[in-house]
Amino acid sequence: MDIRTVNTQPFPDQKPGTSGLRKKVPAFQQPHYLENFVQSIFDSIAAPQNATLALGGDGRYYNREAIQIILKMAAANGFGKVLVGQGGILSTPAASCVIRKYQTYGGIILSASHNPGGPDGDFGIKYNSSNGGPATETVTETIFAKSKTISTYRILDAADVALDATGNFTLGDMQVEVIDPVSDYAELMESLFDFAAIRSLLAGGFRIKFDAMHAVNGPYAKEILERRLGAATGSVINAVPLEDFGGGHPDPNLTYAHELVEICYGENAPDFGAASDGDGDRNMILGKRFFVTPSDSLALLAANATLAPGYKQGLAGIARSMPTSAAADRVAQALNIPCYETPTGWKFFGNLLDAGKVTLCGEESFGTGSSHVREKDGLWAVLFWLNIVAARKQSVESIVSEHWAKYGRNFYSRYDYEGLPTEAAQGVMQHLKDNFAKLDGAQFGKYSVKFCDDFSYTDPVDGSVSKGQGVRIIFTDGSRIIFRLSGTGTEGATLRVYLEAYEADVSRHHLDAQVALAELIGIALQISELKSRTGREQPTVIT
Ligand code: VG1
Ligand code: CO
């Protein structure tokens, strides 16, 4: 074997964020940049000799090159086998599925998720552990520490592996198995949901549109929705994955999935619309001229879970990220099961899922998932919704309205201020923290502050503590304003403001969220001094 040990120098900026290391493509293209990070992963995880690794990515620009580099480094670092998706493709939930199904030691996922791709776009890499989930903070901190002292990495000198067809290859002493990226995942979905019921719903004239946004889920959605479930050909749009996502922003929300939104709010709208993101783990659910807020979606899936065969035994518990609305908490209370509040990012759900404490998890950022894998899962959420619609034989809108009538409505919105100067964004956060004492108990219009803090989480399974997870201002009626700095952006800082107000009165449930939240938005801007500190009049995106 031709293993080369290459001298290198550390890069100071390889700190994984909310979900792995994300940088602009040119940053990853710097000599040794990717290699340093991959070696830091291998040096941190202490895999035994001949361990198996799963590998795949969302197909964005630089995916192919990166896959070849990682394969050669895995061969040089003593791995026995790598399972790699055909064409270097695996959606994030499919990668999690493969790790679990084949009990690999871990996996490497290449994605910058919802961030744009292309030569000037973003690229990303993260390590998932043997449970199929993103490495815990303890592991990502070890990786970062290694990256700061690295002096060499190991790579095999060999020709590229042919990835465009399934098959078995050798690379030095290592096996490479190129697998169909879709089939294991599709099989798992069939085991969870009532495909026969969904098939007859679709055969009965229920029309759906799924926007794959030219991202990784295209082939998955084509196979599952059109081929296995019989949705009309063309139900999946933008189904061909492109390295730059067609120049779009593969983020399934009302702003970036505008093509789907126009279809679902237009004439002759389909009964159901959905979209997923770059790496297939996010989802947006639409009815006919109707948008389901992600926080509500989690609550609704929880309340209706037993309608799906895979969840007919009921739920052990629910977990939601701190900024996600408390709609799910109300369902948990009614079901008499626990509801956990974790910091933002799927890695915090892993321990709860592994310990059997929760079955469903969700985030306000268009992410829902369950114990079937250890990532959020876009297409899974779509199938869950279709299963519920098939069982209840009601429109999406009437299912949601009935839910609100029973539990009350948690009006919810998120304001994102992207690409801010880092100092200004940090200044807003610091200003808020400096004012905790003054804010405590303060009255703003009809709202009075119950308490405010900087969210800290103690993992109930391993006792690890994660501090500084976002500023919470909680009002006596349960309404909340949360401020957080994003950990996935690659340009300046992104400040997120999350707003939530609870409304029990059914006669107000039809209100537009922006109208219902107007007063809270005013309070958020006032106490944060956001406009004067950042010079921004308007958010970049409102979801
Ligand atoms: C964002 C979301 C968070 C999500 C993360 C990864 O993080 O807010 O809920 O888990 O993206 O999602 P941040 O730190 O930018 O707020 V994905 O689909 O980009 O892997
Ligand atoms: Co994603």
Query: pLDDT tens, position by position, for the chain (543 residues)?
Result: 799 999 999 999 999 988 899 999 999 999 999 999 999 999 999 999 999 999 999 999 999 999 999 999 999 999 999 999 999 999 999 999 999 999 999 999 999 999 999 999 999 999 999 999 999 889 999 999 999 999 999 999 999 999 999 999 999 999 999 999 999 999 999 999 999 999 999 999 999 999 999 999 999 999 999 999 999 999 999 999 999 999 989 999 999 999 999 999 999 999 999 999 999 999 999 999 999 999 999 999 999 999 999 999 999 999 999 999 999 999 999 999 999 999 999 999 999 999 999 999 999 999 999 999 999 999 999 999 999 999 999 999 999 999 999 999 999 999 999 999 999 999 999 999 999 999 999 999 999 999 999 999 999 999 999 999 999 999 998 899 999 999 887 778 999 999 999 988 999 999 999 999 999 999 999 999 999 999 999 999 899
Residue in 490, 514, 231, 461 with CA at minimum distance from that of residue 350: 461
Gap between the Cα atoms of 88 and 373, Å rounded: 20
Distance, CA 281 to ligand 2 centroid (Å)?
Answer: 5
The residue whose CA is least distant from atom 10 of ligand 1 is 345
Residue nearest to atom 1 of ligand 1 (CA): 488
User: Domain 409-542: which topology?
Assistant: TATA-Binding Protein (3.30.310)
Token digits of residue 194: 């009532």
Span from the CA of 90 to the centroid of ligand 2 (angstroms): 12
- Ligand 1 center–CA 486 separation, angstroms: 8
Half-sphere exposure of 515 (CA within 13 A, CB side): 5
The CATH number given to 3-181 is: 3.40.120.10
Nearest-atom index, ligand 1, CA of 488: 15
Residue 46: Cβ within 10 Å count: 9
Decide whether any atom of ligand 1 lies within 6 Å of the 113 Cβ.
Answer: yes
Residue 204: CB atoms within 10 A of its CB come to 9
Report whether 398 contacts 239 (CB < 8 A): no
344 ligand 1 Cβ < 6 A: yes
Tokens of 497: 């403001």
Task: Tell me the catalytic residues.
Answer: 113
Distant-in-sequence, close-in-space partners of 313: CB < 8 Å, separation ≥ 6? 306
pTM, full prediction: 0.93
185-407 matches 409-542 in fold: no
Task: Compute, in angstroms, the gap from residue 346 CA to the centroid of ligand 1.
Answer: 8
- Closest ligand to C-alpha of residue 21 is 1
280 CA distance to ligand 2 middle (Å): 6
Q: Whose CA is nearest to atom 13 of ligand 1?
A: 486
Number of Cβ within 10 Å of residue 170's Cβ equals 12
- Grouping H, G, I as helix, E, B as strand and the rest as coil, residue 182 is coil
- In ligand 1, the atom with minimum distance to the C-alpha of 278 is 18
The CATH topology of domain 185-407 is Alpha-D-Glucose-1,6-Bisphosphate; Chain A, domain 3 (3.40.120)
Break the chain into its structural domains and give their ranges.
Answer: 3-181, 185-407, 409-542
Q: Nearest CA to 41 among 69, 62, 64?
A: 69
Task: Identify the nearest ligand to the CA of 487 by its number.
Answer: 1
Which ligand is located closest to the Cα atom of residue 321?
Answer: 1
CA atoms within 13 A on the CB side of 506: 8
- Report which protein residue has its CA nearest ligand 1's atom 19: 113
Q: What pLDDT sits at residue 487? A: 82
Nearest CA to ligand 1 atom 4: 345
